[in-house]
Chain A
Amino acid sequence: MLLAMLLVTAMMMTAGCGGSADTGGGADSGGEPGKTAEVSFSYWGGDFDKARMEKIYEEFKKVHPEIKVNLIQIPSDGYEQKQLATMAAGNPYDVVQLAESFYSYASKGTLEDLTPYLERDGIDTSDYYDAAIRAYSYQDKVMAMPMRMGTMILLYNKNLFDQHGLEYPSDEWTWDDFYAAAKTITDPKNSIFGLGGVGSWWASYQTWVYSYGGSLLSEDRTQLTLDSPEAKKAIQTIQDMIWKDNIAPQASQLLQGVDMWTSGKVGMIIDGPWHILSSQANIKDFEWDIAPVPKGAKEASPLFSNAFAIPKLSKNKEAAWEVVKFWTGETGQKILAAEHGEIPPLKSVAESDAYLNIGDNPPANFKSQLTSAQRAFAPQATVKWDEINRAADTYLGQIFNEQRSVDDALAEMKIEVDRLLEEAKQLEQ
C-alpha cells in the first residue's frame, strides 16, 4: 500500500520534471480552416455521458469536417488524478471537463482565458444562467464554458401529504411552512420522516445557510463566515431537525440498503436534480412532484455544474475553442435538453419545449427547475475546496451526529478553515 503510493508520487515527480510521456495532446497543427486539426477531449462519466458526447460529435462533424475530435472517457473515480498528471507533464488534453476543481486549475494559471474568444465570436455570456458563468470565472475572466447544471430541489411524496391533508409545497414556500409539514408527517416509530437525509455534504447544509442569509466564506474568500448569526441559526435548525424534533432521521435511524425516498419512507428530500431521473425509474407506489427549495431570508439554492475549459498548454487552441463553442452552444445544449435531466445552462434552450416538455411523465411541476435555476448561487470555491469540505465534514459532523454545541464546533472549524485560507492566499501569490 505504502509502496504503491510512493510509486505514484514518484511517477508524478518524473512527469513534473519534464518527462515527455505522450499522454494528452494530439497532432500539432494550427487548426486553420482547410487543414485538419485533431482535438483530444477528455470527459468523465458513464454510458449516459458517452452516448451524449458521441451524439453531439455526430452533429459537430457536419459543421466542422476539418476537425477530428478524440473523445476520451475517463472514469469519474480518478479523473482528477489523471487530469493533474497530464497537466503536470506539460501535455494536457485540448479540452477538459471541470467542476469545483476549476478554481484550483484557474488560480495556478493552467487554463486559457476564453474572454477574447467569446468577444471575437460575439457570444454573449448573459444568454447563459448567471450562476453558471460566475462559477467558471476567475478574476472576472471566463475560463470555462458551462455544459450542464442543476440545483438543489425539493422532491415530495404526494401520498404522504394527502394522508395528512397537507398543502403541497409551492414556489412561495417558506422554511416555516416546510417545518410544520415535516413535523406532521414524521412518525419515527414507523421510520417515517418529514425529511430524508440532511448532513455535512456541502450542498446539503449550504442550502439552509444561504437561504437563511448566511454564507460559507466572506465575499473575498479569506475568512470562514459560518459563525455569523444567520449561518449559525441555519446550522442550529438542522441540528434541531435531527435531534430535537427528529423530523429528519438520525444516523442510526437510516435504513441501510434501502432508499428511504423511493421506498416512500420520507415526505420530502432536498437534494440534487439527478433524483428526477432515478425517481422516474424507481418509484412505483406513490405520486411525487418537485418544487424549488423553501425560502428564508433569501431565495437561494446551491448550484451543481460542470464546464469545458482549454488548458494553456494545448497545442490546438483554435480547434479546441470550436469544440467548446459547439458543445456549449445551441446544438449541444439541445441534445442535452432532450434527456430532460440536468438543466442546459443556455437559457433559450432551457426555457424551450426541447427541455420542458416531458409528456405525461412525472414530475408535473418539472418547470419549477427553472425557478430554482434563477435562484442558484455558485459555491464559493477556493484552492482549498476539498480541505474545507473535509473540515465541514468533521465539525458539522460533530454537530449533526454527536449533538455537539454549534458554537464550540464552529469556533474550532473557524480556526482550521481560516488557516487554510491563509495558505491559499500564499499559494495564489
Chain B
Amino acid sequence: MVKTRRARSLTKRESRNFWLYTSPWIIGFVAFTAFPFLSSFILSFMQWDVLSPPKFVGIDNYVQLSQDKTYFWKDLNNTLYYALIGVPLTIILGLAVSVLLSKPIRGINFYRIVFYLPAVFGGVAVLKLWTYLLSPGTGDGMNPGLINAMLGWFGIQGPGWSQDPHWAKPAVLLVGLWGVGGSMMIWLPALASVPKDLLEAGEIDGANRFQRFWRITVPLITPAIFFQLTMGIIGSFQIFMEPVIMPGSSKTWTDSLMVVLFDNAFRFYKMGYASAIAWVIFIMIMLVTLVNLYFSRRWVYYESK
C-alpha cells in the first residue's frame, strides 16, 4: 500500500515536532553531560595546564596515578574506609531510627521532624559547628569541645579528633552520621508497606519481637536496603565537603579521592591528570554498582515476582 502524500507529510511533521519538543533536553544533555564526559576521557590521555595547548601523552597520567602512593593511594584508602565503615553504619542507624519513628505514639510527628531536621540543615556552616563541637582537650585550662566535655562527665578522656591521626577519619564519619535521619524518607514507607497480617500471623505462631523483625520485616524491605546500599556507596566515593571543611591536622589523614581530583584540577591545573582520576573514580563506582546488582538477585526480594 502506497502512503498518500498527506500521510507522509504528517509523519514528517510529527518527527519534526518530536525533535523540536525534545530539543531542550537533548541540547542540555549534549552540552552539559555528553560533551564534558567525552572531553574528560580524551583529556585523560593528555597533559594540559589550561594555558598551553594540550599535549598527547598516552597512558602517562594513568601510570603516574598508579605510582602516586603519597596522595592517590592514601586517599583511595581513606575513601574505602568511608565507604566500608560509613555505609553500613548509615544503614543500620537509619533503619533503627526509622523503626522507632514508625511506632504509633503520641507526638510522633514532632519526633520525626526533630530527626529529619539535620538533613535539612547541613553544608559548610554545620561542618564548622562540628569542628567546634569536636575540639580536643579535656579541661585543665583548655576549653574542650562540647563532646569531649560531656565525655569528661563520665570520666572518659575524649580523643583529639581531627588533631589525632587515628581519630580524624572517625570524626569525618561521625559528622556524616548526624544527618542519618534524612534516610527516614526511604525507610518509613518501606516499613509501612510490610503487611500487618504477616506480622500478626508470626505473633500467633509464637515468634518474638526480634524474630518478627528479622524474619519478616527485613526480607520485605530488602529493596529499600538495596537502594540505600547502592546510593550510599556511590555517595561515599564522592565524599568531598566533609574532608575539605574538617581536615585532619595533616590533610592526608582525611582527604578523599574527590579532594585529590579537585586539587589537581583547580589548584595545580593538571587537567589531564585530574581527568584520569575522574575516570578511575567513575570506573570504580561502576564496578562496585554492577557487583552489587549482580549479588542483589540473591538477597533482594520483590513481592511482585
* B230 on the A face (CB < 8 A): no
The answer to whether B268 and A257 touch across the interface, beta carbons within 8 angstroms, is no
Within 8 A of A (CB), among B227-284: 238, 240, 249-252, 258, 261-263, 265-269, 271, 274-275, 278, 281-282
Taking a contact as CB atoms under 8 Å apart, the answer to whether A9 and B136 are in contact is no
Q: How far is the CA of A316 from the CA of B137 in the complex (A)?
A: 58
| Residue pair B37, A6 in contact (C-beta under 8 Å) | yes
Number of interface residues of B (CB under 8 A): 52
| Most chain A beta-carbon neighbours within 10 Å: one of B71, B261, B263, B266 | B266
Give A258 to B132 CA distance when docked, in angstroms: 10
What is the total number of residues of chain A having a CB less than 8 Å from a CB of chain B? 45
A5 close to B261 (CB less than 8 A): yes
Q: Is the CB of B141 within 8 A of A2?
A: no
A390, B263: Cβ atoms closer than 8 Å: yes
- Which residues on B sit within 8 Å (CB–CB) of A12? 50, 271
Whether A6 and B249, one on each chain, are in contact in the complex, defined by CB atoms closer than 8 angstroms, is no
B212 → chain A closest CB, angstroms: 41
Residue of A105, A190, A397 with most partner-chain B CB within 10 A: A397
Interface status of A427 (Cβ within 8 A of chain B) = yes
Q: Which of A1-56 contact B (CB under 8 A)?
A: 1-3, 5-10, 12-13, 16
Query: Which chain B residues lie closer than 8 Å to A387 at the CB level?
Result: 268
- Quick one: given A108-B51, A110-B51, A394-B251, are A252 and B160 in contact (CB under 8 Å)? yes
B32: interface (CB < 8 Å): yes
* Interface majority SS (helix, strand, loop, mixed), chain A: helix
B43 adjacent to chain A (CB < 8 Å): yes
Cα distance A279–B213 in the bound complex, in angstroms: 62
A131 → chain B, closest Cβ, in Å?
A: 26
A353 touches B (CB below 8 Å): no
11 interchain pairs (CB within 8 A)? A2-B281, A5-B278, A9-B271, A9-B275, A12-B271, A81-B266, A84-B51, A250-B163, A251-B160, A252-B164, A394-B71
Taking beta carbons and an 8 Å cutoff, which residues of B are in contact with A?
32-33, 35-37, 39-40, 43, 48-54, 70-71, 131-132, 135-137, 140-143, 145, 160, 163-165, 238, 240, 249-252, 258, 261-263, 265-269, 271, 274-275, 278, 281-282
Could you list which residues of chain A lie within 8 angstroms of chain B, going by C-beta atoms? 1-3, 5-10, 12-13, 16, 81, 84-85, 87-88, 105, 108, 110, 189-191, 250-258, 384, 386-387, 390, 393-394, 397-398, 401-402, 412, 416, 427
Besides the known contacts A9-B43, A12-B50, 4 further A-B residue pairs in the complex with CB atoms under 8 A apart? A9-B274, A16-B50, A394-B250, A401-B165
